[in-house]
Amino acid sequence: MTIRIGPLETRNRVFLAPMSGVTDEALRSVAHDCGAGLVVSEMVASEELVRQRQDMCRRARGSDKVKPFVIQLAGREAKWMAEGARVAQDLGADVIDINMGCPSRQVTGGLSGSALMRDLDHATSLVSATVSAARVPVTLKMRLGWDDTNLNAPTLARRAEDAGVQLVTVHGRTRCQFYTGKADWRAIKAVKSAITIPLIANGDCATPADAKAMLDASGADGVMIGRGAYGRPWWPGVIAQALGENGFREPTVLAELRIVLEHQARTIELYSDALGNKTFRKHAGWYAQRLFERGYISETALQAFRGKALSNSNNSQVASEIQALYDQAGSLHRDAAA
């Protein structure tokens, strides 16, 4: 199944969540190549984007190969949201997503992110300013509300739809929960009843079975995967395939190695040799952890890889360490299968 965002149509209904410090252009392009229904940029601070701060410009980078290109904007002033939307469009964005879900004190302290859910009039004014400035569809990502006594996502979603938003994503936690407890998929259903535009459910969805249960419980049109895609950017595509959609077949160990090395190369290209090396370390650690969790490498091999590869600033040597790790994984996996 596909999802319509205004005139656009997604490949399937399993999306990769925006994650600052994780879903940069390199990771998004890999996830896209591996079947994700939609990928969204890391949160981009609208004022800083307009002022062309280098890191924000990099966050807002996209390519013609990854379509639709979605830039997520955050901000607390209508003026900057509107200006940011114009800049995002000039950068080629096909969709602008507004962040009203980030719980970070740094962001909510500046009264943006999920803090906007405490003042729906102000939140709606930001949405209206963004929609008025944009020629492309605008979407909105939020939480269930600020806290358990203010579960106002249905009202905000309704008001956003009235203001012209074309799709809403809801993370089934309140701001005050941060990432604790379990996402409440059932609570997302109240949003579905409040709107006619597509709804995407998010929070703690990490397997095909989770995705089915989440779709049932929330009544949502699609799901969004965040941390469940750490160390497996093909996972949204694989879940889509498991739901019977146009997705991606789970890669073999050898195919996985090719994807990982491609991800490393794209990361270095995006940042530079040194910053690319530093940025890729967490991904390399996650890839290795996933191999270990599936029983493809031993704990000793995992620890040895961490010790050698994750402090090595020579990217070719890191690539060789990755190759060696996957060689071990391949032989252990073959032995187990034999």
Ligand X SMILES: Cc1cc2nc3c(=O)[nH]c(=O)nc-3n(C[C@H](O)[C@H](O)[C@H](O)COP(=O)(O)O)c2cc1C
Question: How many separate helices (H) and strands (E) can be counted in the chain?
Answer: 14, 10
Site string for ligand X, 243-282 (x = CB under 6 A): ----------------------------------------
Q: Which is nearer to ligand X, 19 or 176 (CB)?
A: 19
**Residue 102 among the catalytic residues:** yes
223 and 14 Cβ atoms separated by less than 8 Å = yes
Q: How many CA atoms lie within 13 A of 137 on its CB side?
A: 20
From 14-22, 126-134, 264-272, 289-297, span contacting ligand X (CB under 6 A): 14-22
Q: How far apart are CA 71 and CA 186, in angstroms?
A: 28
Of residues 33-72, those binding ligand X (CB under 6 A): 42-43, 72
Helices (H), 71-207: 78-90, 105-109, 120-133, 153-163, 189-194
> What are the backbone dihedrals phi and psi of residue 20, each rounded to the nearest 5 degrees, phi first?
-60, 135
Residue type at 125 in one-letter notation: S
State which of residues 228, 231, 233, 247 lies at the interface with ligand X (CB under 6 A). 228
State which of residues 2, 4, 20, 328 lies at the interface with ligand X (CB under 6 A). 20
Q: Which is nearer to ligand X, 67 or 282 (CB)?
A: 282
Site string for ligand X, 129-168 (x = CB under 6 A): ------------x---------------------------
328 and 297 Cβ atoms separated by less than 8 Å = yes
From 47-55, 98-106, 184-192, 262-270, span contacting ligand X (CB under 6 A): 98-106
E-only strand ranges, the chain:
4-5, 8-9, 14-16, 38-45, 70-74, 95-100, 138-145, 167-174, 199-202, 222-225
Q: Which is nearer to ligand X, 304 or 310 (CB)?
A: 310
Using CB under 6 A, count the residues that bind ligand X. 22
Q: How far apart are CA 202 and CA 17, in angstroms?
A: 8
Helices (H), 4-119: 25-33, 46-50, 54-59, 78-90, 105-109
State which of residues 114, 202, 267, 277 lies at the interface with ligand X (CB under 6 A). 202
From 1-9, 85-93, 99-107, 279-287, span contacting ligand X (CB under 6 A): 99-107
CA dihedral 234, 249, 199, 4 (to 10 degrees): 110
CB of 224 to ligand X, least distance (A): 7
CB neighbours of residue 210 within 10 Å = 18
Closest CA to 28 of 263, 298, 221, 223: 263
Q: Does 222 bind ligand X (CB under 6 A)?
A: no
Beta-carbon contacts of residue 53 (< 8 Å; ≥ 6 apart): 45
Q: Does 101 bind ligand X (CB under 6 A)?
A: yes
Q: Does 99 bind ligand X (CB under 6 A)?
A: yes
CB of 221 to ligand X, least distance (A): 17
From 13-21, 46-54, 125-133, 188-196, span contacting ligand X (CB under 6 A): 13-21
Could you say which of 34, 102, 176, 205 is catalytic? 102
State which of residues 3, 5, 22, 115 lies at the interface with ligand X (CB under 6 A). 22
Q: How far apart are CA 270 and CA 233, in angstroms?
A: 17
Which positions touch ligand X (CB under 6 A)? 17-22, 42-43, 72, 99, 101-102, 141, 171, 202-205, 225-228
